[in-house]
Amino acid sequence: MAETKNDESSVKSSSPTSHFEMKGDDISPDKDEGVLKEILKEGYDNEQPTSNDKVYVHYVGMLLDGTKFDSSRDRNEKFEFELGKGAVIKAWDIGVATMKRGEICRLICKPEYAYGKAGSDSKIPPDATLVFEIELFDFIGEDISEAKDQSIVRRILSKGESWTRPNDGANVEVLLKGTYEGRVFDERTVNFVIGEGFLKNIIPGVEHAITKMLKNERCKIKVKSKAAWDKSGEKSFNIPPHANVEYEILLKNFEKAKDSWQMNDTEKLDQGEILKKSGSSFFKDGHFRVALKKYSTIVDYLQSTNCESESDKERCRQLKLAAYSNIALCHLKLEQYIECIHACEKALELEAENEKCLFRRGTAYLALHEFDVALKDFQLVLSINSSNSAAKQQTEKCKDKIKLHAAKEKRLYAKIFEKLAKESEQEEPKQSEKTSNDDKSVEVENEHKTSNGTSEKQNDV
């Protein structure tokens, strides 16, 4: 049994069969001497890795008798893992979290913090106490961006509580501290609705990070310009275009928006009407991406409805039709033409002769230079409403584009044929000259045969 000093966190003992002294600070959570740490070389800064950080280390693993069973140094390849996610033995998650960059330490790990009664393969026996010498080279935060392009990198400074996180539409209260090149530009407590953060000058990167947080969690994020103010910058904070920023965030409180599975059909329909009104308001103000999200949520809510009454069924159909139609319009404004066409087709499944959706689909096809297909859509619009002046204009535009395209093709093919004809003319004299030379060769060969009485081919044989 290890001997405890006056300082209960420091332990030193030895065993006659052990190659190592059982010494070091007791860093196990329960102070049961399960993980002892001895620093062999001090690190060079005060920052330590936190949960979810990706860490880069070299290690040598040994049994108590000094037998080496694994070594990243022998492979000449650093080992990397995400801290606190159970990707390694418990002792590592505990021990590496206490290290600094450049630090080398020795961890002595009791079986319950290592491989336990099972051991591991033939190299680590059951109930084995293990020794690891670990060098920490670097650690980086967790990439929480949707594109996994390092545009939003998070480091958890203090863990939160419970297990729920804010969802889209949740009301949140956060304490923010934004810095740019060491200068604090934004420090405040703010309440806002997830999805509408821009109304309070909250950048997308911060809003996205908050949806990954627990109540009372504190984190630090590094945000690239694409998830901040991008090429526009922010004059009120004196942030230039294309600037990367950092934020420290404390999620003080939040109230989740109701999930669709928590609603009955009537509630989904009512919520759909609210979202439609909200989306239209944002659309009128030019916030097309926010409006798009509102309309898309309507579709999500109504996918799983099972309305019983005919009136509710029709109300549901009309809401979905309006949602898809408005989704198409948002995509059109954002110049996302393929997505616009897809949304129009969803709407046309609900109402085949919907004038607005046919027009919007035609407009998207026109933008994609699919003039023939676009023309058909505008002609369909006119067959439904012959007085639609916009469709008349677009029809004429398509016809002009088709004529122009045909003329271009005609000129292109004419050039191709002209080029081929010239190449053919240039080949004819060459062919004629080749034929003449071939005839002369035959005459010479015949003369050669006559003088020698045999051909060169026969002489070779």
- What pLDDT digit, counting tens, does each position of 309-332 carry? 999 999 999 999 999 999 999 999
7 in active site: no
What values do phi and psi take at 216, rounded to 5?
70, 10
**pLDDT, the chain, mean:** 89
- The reported pLDDT for the residue numbered 17 is 58
3-state SS class at 176: strand
Q: Give the residue, 305 or 7, on which the prediction is more confident.
A: 305
69 in active site: yes
- The reported pLDDT for the residue numbered 6 is 38
- The reported pLDDT for the residue numbered 22 is 86
Q: Which domains does the chain have, with CATH numbers?
A: 10-140 (3.10.50.40), 152-255 (3.10.50.40), 260-401 (1.25.40.10)
- The pLDDT-based confidence of 20 (bands split at 50, 70, 90) is confident
Check: CB of residue 225 under 8 Å from CB of residue 242. yes
Q: What long-range pairs does 398-405 form, CB within 8 A, spacing at least 24?
A: 398/366, 398/371, 398/372, 398/374, 399/375, 401/366, 401/369, 401/371, 402/371, 402/372, 402/375, 405/371
Listed in sequence order, the residues at least 6 apart from 450 whose beta carbon sits closer than 8 Å to its beta carbon are: none
The 10 Å Cβ neighbour count of residue 141 is: 20
- The reported pLDDT for the residue numbered 316 is 96
300 in active site: no
- Assigned token pair, 235: 């004059």
Please identify which of the residues 27, 89, 108, 144 carries the catalytic annotation. 89
3-state SS class at 268: helix
149 in active site: no
Separation of alpha carbons 315 and 94, rounded Å: 56
- The reported pLDDT for the residue numbered 420 is 73
3-state SS class at 272: helix
Check: CB of residue 293 under 8 Å from CB of residue 275. no
Please identify which of the residues 20, 115, 301, 324 carries the catalytic annotation. 115
Separation of alpha carbons 124 and 228, rounded Å: 49
- The reported pLDDT for the residue numbered 48 is 94
Listed in sequence order, the residues at least 6 apart from 109 whose beta carbon sits closer than 8 Å to its beta carbon are: 34, 35, 89, 91, 95, 129, 130, 131, 132
132 in active site: yes
413 in active site: no
- The reported pLDDT for the residue numbered 363 is 98
Separation of alpha carbons 221 and 176, rounded Å: 11
Average pLDDT, stretch 46-60?
A: 94
Q: How far is CA 442 from the centre of its chain?
A: 74
334, 267, 278, 275: which is closest to 299 by C-alpha? 275
Average pLDDT, stretch 247-271?
A: 95
- The reported pLDDT for the residue numbered 208 is 98
Q: How far is CA 414 from the centre of its chain?
A: 48
Check: CB of residue 100 under 8 Å from CB of residue 136. yes
Please identify which of the residues 132, 192, 301, 324 carries the catalytic annotation. 132
Tens of pLDDT, residues 266-299: 999 999 999 999 999 999 999 999 999 999 999 9
Please identify which of the residues 59, 247, 283, 324 carries the catalytic annotation. 59
Please identify which of the residues 69, 81, 185, 198 carries the catalytic annotation. 69
Separation of alpha carbons 91 and 377, rounded Å: 66
- The reported pLDDT for the residue numbered 404 is 87
Q: How far is CA 63 from CA 27, 58, 66, 129, in A?
A: 20, 17, 5, 7
Tens of pLDDT, residues 137-157: 999 999 999 999 999 999 999
Q: Tell me the torsion sign for CA atoms 418, 422, 427, 428.
A: positive
In our burial notation (b when 16+ CB lie closer than 10 A, e otherwise), range 12-41 reads eeeeeebebebbbbbbbeeeebbbbbbeee
